[in-house]
Amino acid sequence: MSNTEPNTNHKWWNEAVIYQIYPRSFQDSNGDGEGDLKGITSRLEYVRDLGVDAIWLSPFYTSPNKDGGYDIADPRNVDPRFGTIADAKELFEKAHSLGLRVLVDIVPNHFSTEHVWFKEALNSPAGSAARNRFHFYDGKDANTPPNNWISLFGGPSWTQVSDGQWYLHLFDSSQPDLNWENPEVMADFEKTIRFWLDLGADGFRIDVAHGLAKEDLHTDHYDPQGLSDALRLDVLMEVERRNSYLAKIPFFDRDGVHEIYKEWRKIFDSYGDRDIMAVAEVWVHPPKRATLYVRPDELHQFFNFDVMNAPFDSKYLYKIISDMLQLVKEQSAWPTWCLSNHDSERVASRIGADAARAMALFIFGLPGSAYVFNGQELGLPSGEMADSDRQDPIYFRTNGTQMGRDGARVPLPWSGEKAPFGFTIGKPWLPLQDSWKEFTVEAEDRDPDSSLNLYRKALKIRKEQIVGSGEITWTNTDGLLSYKRGKIEVIINISDSAKPISGKVLLSSRPVTDLLPPATAVWLLA
């Protein structure tokens, strides 16, 4: 079977490799134990030398930090823990000088309770214009919220205020959902979009892009806890069960969201030849629904989480990848591929270190953009820590029954033999394990067979010999999943035994002979 690339004018982001930086965990420049913008700027040569095309910065805006910065109090300013507006501009300028584009997070589903709008809402009466910027409603009775929805972070998705009304928060109670039927909300986000584009950003990653339009706010769900779990990337769930929940969600993927992005697209296009790009975090089912977000007058890309959550199974991987290639082709769009992010268990922990290396080679050969989460290139597993060190609100809102996302957010190890491995001279905000000395950039840099050097080699070959190739042709036999793209054949062994291969080896995730070991991928010159 073959899949062809979409027929569209080539843009920088069509087949870019984009490196996600979680600012708090990347590099600390001032010894306070938290990463910051100056720290990122100091490490940009490392990012460039990895071979990526762009960086994506998770939030660094003014925030009380109840949810890792995704609770934003001022979306047009830098939180002092990360630096200043001048530091952000310096970061953008240096990235550009190194040939790197910059995407920044934008969080349109909610603000922080510390945002001036919400403070105004609390000091205003029911039915006021200030409250209409959010979702304030009377309850079913004095002690019962409008519906039984469960927050994605655990517990009710409604919080009662002093006058008896309730406000909606699909995440933490510190993150009240915005009412996108209010034109003030659209106008304010246009200001935010233009602010960061004018400062030098090249585009946006849109958080919870499918969540802005709401329906049935007074209707109970038949299994609110099951739905909440299904919407969490860090909660394991059988695929079909998860998909059954995702098929209809009253607060996600409603048709009204598309009118919002049509307006945003007009803003992006007004910047002319700068090729502004926006990638949407969409978590929907069936996958065809996601392609609606990349129609020609809406956004440019959406995250495809199917591979990130897929079992290490050849038939399953073939189906979800080939299906996605066909779906985006129908919209003349390009796919995205990712194995980890700040909300999920690190891929090396989820499927194993060898399989993680193999899957990286496998997706790097595919048409479309690849997103790499900082530390993924080092083969980092999810961090372990005492419960007393955890900070994720999920852990606290579920009374410790769910560990949350802290493990994926442990700071990067850069150098040395002991924690914190050059990340900070202070106490890191999340602990690094002493066992991570083998994962430092310093250690892996001098090891030709390290995960880091595998990524460097792969991205170099990808750019020189794979990007821009034409038709992709698949083979799926005897536990081997393979495809040919241009002059390169990509093969991954997902069986339990070594399999014979033939051809000139350009790169492999582990040493190979004429046999391809299990959990190993290889690039052959076809």
Q: Which listed residue (207, 234, 345, 392) is catalytic?
A: 207
pLDDT in tens, 43-96: 999 999 999 999 999 999 999 999 999 999 999 999 999 999 999 999 999 999
pLDDT in tens, 16-31: 999 999 999 999 999 9
pLDDT surpasses 70 at 489: yes
Amino acid present at 178: L
Sign of the CA dihedral running 413, 416, 417, 423: negative
Cα-flanking dihedrals φ and ψ of residue 263, to 5°? Answer: -70, -40
pLDDT, residue 5, reads: 53
pLDDT surpasses 60 at 495: yes
pLDDT, residue 182, reads: 98
Name the packing angle between helices 183-199 and 85-97 (round to 10°).
Answer: 60
pLDDT, residue 238, reads: 85
CATH among 3.30.470.20, 3.30.1300.10, 3.40.50.20, 3.20.20.80 for 11-109+184-455: 3.20.20.80
Beta bridge partners of 280: 206, 302
Chain region(s) in the chain for CATH 3.20.20.80: 11-109+184-455
The predicted model gives 391-406 an average pLDDT of 89
What strand order describes the sheet that includes 504-508?
2-3, 472-477, 480-485, 488-493, 520-525, 504-508
Q: How confident is the model at residue 208 (pLDDT cuts 50, 70, 90)?
A: very high
Chain region(s) in the chain for CATH 2.60.40: 469-525
Amino acid present at 33: G
What strand order describes the sheet that includes 17-21?
301-302, 277-280, 203-206, 101-106, 54-57, 17-21, 369-373, 336-338
pLDDT, residue 7, reads: 46
Residues 6 or more apart whose CB falls under 8 angstroms from that of 371 comprise 17, 18, 19, 20, 56, 303, 336, 337, 338, 341
Q: DSSP assignment, residue 434?
A: G
pLDDT surpasses 70 at 108: yes
Active site residue 207: yes
pLDDT in tens, 141-185: 999 999 999 998 888 999 999 999 999 999 999 999 999 999 999
* pTM of structure: 0.94
> Exposure string (b/e) for 130-158, b if CB count within 10 Å is 16 or more?
bbbbbbbbebeeeeebbbbbbbbbbbbbb
What is the C-alpha to C-alpha distance for residues 393 and 64, in angstroms, rounded to an integer?
13
Helix (H, G, I), strand (E, B) or coil at 509: coil
Active site residue 306: no
pLDDT, residue 397, reads: 84
pLDDT in tens, 306-329: 898 888 988 889 999 999 999 999
What is the C-alpha to C-alpha distance for residues 331 and 296, in angstroms, rounded to an integer?
8
Helix (H, G, I), strand (E, B) or coil at 55: strand
Name the packing angle between helices 183-199 and 257-269 (round to 10°).
Answer: 30
Three-state SS for 364-411 is HCCCCEEEEECCHHHCCCCCCCCHHHCCCHHHHHCCCCCCCCHHHHCC
pLDDT surpasses 50 at 339: yes
> Exposure string (b/e) for 274-293, b if CB count within 10 Å is 16 or more?
eebbbbbbbbbbebebbbbb
Q: Say which CATH topology domain 469-525 has.
A: Immunoglobulin-like (2.60.40)
Q: How confident is the model at residue 132 (pLDDT cuts 50, 70, 90)?
A: very high
Burial class (CB in 10 A: 0-12, 13-18, 19+), 269: exposed
Sign of the CA dihedral running 427, 431, 435, 436: negative
Contact 519, 352 (CB under 8 A): yes
Q: Which listed residue (281, 377, 392, 489) is catalytic?
A: 281
pLDDT, residue 310, reads: 87
What is the C-alpha to C-alpha distance for residues 400 and 379, in angstroms, rounded to an integer?
27
The predicted model gives 375-401 an average pLDDT of 93
